[in-house]
Amino acid sequence: DTGVSQNPRHKITKRGQNVTFRCDPISEHNRLYWYRQTLGQGPEFLTYFQNEAQLEKSRLLSDRFSAERPKGSFSTLEIQRTEQGDSAMYLCASGQGFLKLFFGSGTQLSVL
Residues 94, 38: contact at Cβ < 8 Å?
Answer: no
To other proteins, the closest distance from the beta carbon of 23 in angstroms equals 13
Binding residue (CB under 8 A) for other proteins from 23, 91, 109, 111 = 91
Segment lying near other proteins (by CB under 8 A), choices 11-19, 41-49, 69-77, 79-87: 41-49
Residue 67 is a binding residue for other proteins (CB under 8 A)? no
Residues 89, 8: contact at Cβ < 8 Å?
Answer: no
How far is residue 30's CA from residue 43's CA, in Å, rounded to a whole number?
21
Residue 102 is a binding residue for other proteins (CB under 8 A)? yes
Among 1, 2, 7, CA closest to 92: 7
Question: Which residues make up the interface to other proteins (CB under 8 A)?
Answer: 33, 35, 40-45, 48, 50, 55-56, 89, 91, 93, 98-106, 108
